[in-house]
Amino acid sequence: MIPTFNTDDLPRGFNAYVAENNKKQLKFWLPILALSMLSLGIFMPLWEARSFLLIEEEVNSFFHFYMVYVLPLVFLLFRFILIKLPANNNSNLACLFLVSNMLAAQHAAMITLSVTLSPLSVILVTAMAKMMILRIREIIYVWGFSLMTGFWIVDVAQDATITSIHLLISLSIMFGWMLYLGNDHYKTKLQAFIYDKEQWKAKKQITIQLMELEAQKKQLQQLIGKDALTGIFNRGYFDQHLRNEIKRTTRSSAPLGLLIIDIDHFKMVNDQLGHHTGDVYLTKVAKALEKVAKRPTDIVARYGGEEFVLLLPDTHSKGLELLAQQILHTINELAIPHPIQSHLTVSIGGCEFDSHSMDKVSFFERADQALYRVKSGGRNNYFIAS
């Protein structure tokens, strides 16, 4: 029966981490152990010296059969079963228990071999202790039983007892060293897990804070009149500035021009290329409009959706025509791909403010009517209302 240990003092998720790690290590090492046992068994005749357990031919043949056929096949079978089972500490511990006890017979014979082979047992045990994540009680359970199994096999194989102070001291040192390595490895992995978890929490907190800062940035941009996507002015800023410019124009009788720019068939861009691509296109158009309207007094704003506005102080109708032509040329030069056209185009409507017959609403409506005329007439053009 495999004991279940109390893990209430462990951080949340560590048991699952240990189960996954140990299963991964077993899946990796079982084929290597199988190959190692097979190789040792095949090359038994080349060993420089024999263990006193293998002095009889019958025992030698059995040990050869055990290493060449039994251990490799059983280890591969264990791996196959382990793959089918969900990651679980008890199933991993049971598999390790069976593997270590089957290796005990091989250890029992090899531990007193010549200097050529005696280190292999220590290397094998050390590697297993450092690869698996086991607590001290689990190490005692697994490897303690393995040593008992090894002693039992030795006693059964020999008519006379072979236990000596030297052997007991050697095994005690090895077992103590194994406990130290296993416990050190366990604590290292536990500390690393806690550190990684704290790092993950810190990164999560930083991500949340960055998201909050981004939200605050968007709110601030709204407050200062910037469009969050394109970086140009937004509708609120345009409306406020339009009122101010109309007041200034009415007092000074200076010309004031307005252009409304609408991206042609923009819905098809979003539907067929995706909203992310649509956002990229909006930003490109906004940047192109900023390059055309270069004066410090010019206002480039996103009015809504795919519609932009240019408020142009000291600009009469002829100047509006020149700017509209320049905008069409600039957008066409970008050659932005479009799903149903050769490239992305815009339509432009505009008018010059007349302080005697217009107010804020009628001024915008006159430019919007000019835009509608262009879109009805085929798009990718401009019209400046008189």
pLDDT at residue 300 in the model? 95
Residue range 296-336, pLDDT digits in tens? 899 999 998 999 999 999 999 999 999 999 999 999 999 99
Structure-model confidence comparison of residues 326 and 236, the more confident one: 326
pLDDT band at 134 (very low <50, low <70, confident <90, very high): confident
Separation between Cα atoms, residue 86 and residue 92, nearest integer Å = 10
* % of residues, the chain, pLDDT over 70: 81
Neighbours of 85 (CB within 10 A): 12
Structure-model confidence comparison of residues 55 and 380, the more confident one: 380
In this prediction, residues 272-283 reach a mean pLDDT of 95
Separation between Cα atoms, residue 143 and residue 132, nearest integer Å = 12
Rg of the chain over all Cα atoms, to the nearest angstrom: 41
Give whichever of 131-135, 179-183, 284-288 has the largest mean pLDDT.
Answer: 284-288
pLDDT band at 125 (very low <50, low <70, confident <90, very high): low
Classified as helix, coil or strand, 261 is strand
**Contact in structure between 323 and 310 (CB atoms under 8 Å):** yes
Domains detected in the chain = 14-202 (no CATH), 235-384 (3.30.70.270)
pLDDT at residue 115 in the model? 36
pLDDT at residue 181 in the model? 81
Separation between Cα atoms, residue 104 and residue 2, nearest integer Å = 19
Structure-model confidence comparison of residues 1 and 195, the more confident one: 195
Query: What per-residue string of b and e applies to 209-226 under the rule 16 or more CB within 10 Å gives b?
Result: eeeeeeeeeeeeeeeebb
pLDDT band at 117 (very low <50, low <70, confident <90, very high): very low
Burial degree of 281 (CB within 10 A; 0-12, 13-18, 19+):
buried
In this prediction, residues 119-125 reach a mean pLDDT of 57
φ, ψ of residue 358 to 5 degrees: the values are: -125, 155
In this prediction, residues 8-24 reach a mean pLDDT of 82
Residue range 344-353, pLDDT digits in tens? 999 999 999 9
Chain Cα centroid distance, residue 299: 42
In this prediction, residues 126-149 reach a mean pLDDT of 77
In this prediction, residues 278-298 reach a mean pLDDT of 94
Contacts of residue 146, defined as CB under 8 A and 6 or more positions apart, other chains included, come to 100, 101, 103, 104, 107
Closest of 20, 19, 18 to residue 186, by C-alpha: 18
**Contact in structure between 149 and 155 (CB atoms under 8 Å):** no
**Residue at token pair 């007991």:** 168
Query: At residue 113, does pLDDT exceed 50?
Result: no
Q: Which amino acid is at 198?
A: E
